[in-house]
Amino acid sequence: MNEKTGSSEQQLEVAEYQELINKIRPRHTFLKNAILAFLVGGTICLIGQFILQIYMGQGLEQQQAQAATSATMVFLGAFLTGIGVYDQIGKYGGAGSIVPITGFANSIVAPAMEARREGFVFGIGAKMFTIAGPVLVYGFLISALIGISYFLLR
């Protein structure tokens, strides 16, 4: 057997293999994903700004309107998760759907919805506190540390 023949057959196999890999390799869509995340996250924030303007137009002061807007956006995120719409938004917009406050609501409600077979108390209720517990504990801890630091440095 000729070494040249074996070598060229191997080269042909490697070339065919490389061509096959190039055909089935998923294409990188970093730019598309970044644009979609920007558009979805921006749209959610735009909706939040619109709601804020509505509350301020109704006579609420800015701080009260901001709190009401946050509560409304959390409610909308939880509601859209409950009816299955927020998951579709997440599939389309990726990180753009998890960064705003509606993403927090989604991260708490989605696991609870999966546990609903176990009932409202032991399924949904327990799962929501399992997920929200660490978030709330760390949030309270950090806010207490910031408050103490502010008090001591003032």
- For 131, left (φ over 0), alpha (ψ -120 to 50), or beta? alpha
Q: Quick one: which of 70, 42, 68, 71 has its CA closest to 57?
A: 68
> pLDDT digit of tens for each residue in the chain (154 aa)?
444 445 677 776 888 888 888 888 887 788 999 999 999 999 999 999 999 999 999 999 999 999 999 999 999 998 998 888 998 998 888 888 888 888 878 877 777 676 666 666 666 666 666 666 666 667 777 888 888 998 899 8
Task: Kindly give the residue spans of alpha helices, DSSP state H, lying in the chain.
Answer: 3-24, 30-57, 62-82, 85-93, 101-114, 126-153
Domain layout of the chain by residue ranges: 8-114
DSSP state of 26: P
Q: Quick one: which of 41, 154, 16 has its CA closest to 100?
A: 41
Tokens of 37: 């995340």
Q: Which residue has the tokens 């490389």?
A: 18
Is residue 77 within 8 Å of 51, Cβ to Cβ?
no
Within 13 Å and on the Cβ side, how many CA atoms surround 36?
15
> pTM here?
0.63
Per-residue confidence (pLDDT) for residue 128, from 0 to 100: 64
